[in-house]
Structure 1
């Protein structure tokens, strides 16, 4: 059973690959999301110990990019983060990259690590 986003990526998969030229990690996440919940990619059978009724549950992709799996990931992540936070007032700051510098980060993604360390130090 596929969702709307899966259908869109299935319909435009070749366009994405051959015209947009995504990075390998993006292709892997798109492929995982497209095949998420597809019974032909495997699953698990569960049997009721009382009546013996069998139920087949297809495997999920567990990718953050996937609408259903990503939502589960975000809920779990939010819960775990809320358990770690100190009970005090927090501030939320948003740092943006000036438009003139964005091309450097798009071309060399390793620079993002340096950027994150600099933001943390601020």
Structure 2
């Protein structure tokens, strides 16, 4: 993983709005054409409503015209590893391939683990399931 993804994910984490869980998370993704988008989690008073960092980054991707995710980095302040939640796994899978790399980072910048979307979400629900 390139250091730029981690740096952007960590910067996004610092902007998280997490007054209820006190669990800030940041994510940064790189598309197959090299564009990078980041996001943080945003909580609202009707907690646990709100949205995750990965969701925010994907929203920025969509607003910029879409694309395919080549890799994504996720970092959280309180855990050595922060894996995307189930909903985010499905959201990432929508814009990724089973080979897309998912980097689970610690707060100090070390990649603790890199997995593929196929490992993170085997048998993902896909558009093929709709026909």
**Normalization by structure 2: what TM-score?**
0.24
1 or 2, which has the higher helix percentage?
1
**Normalization by structure 1: what TM-score?**
0.26
1 or 2 for the larger relative contact order (CA 8 Å, sep ≥6)?
2
1 or 2, which has the higher strand percentage?
2
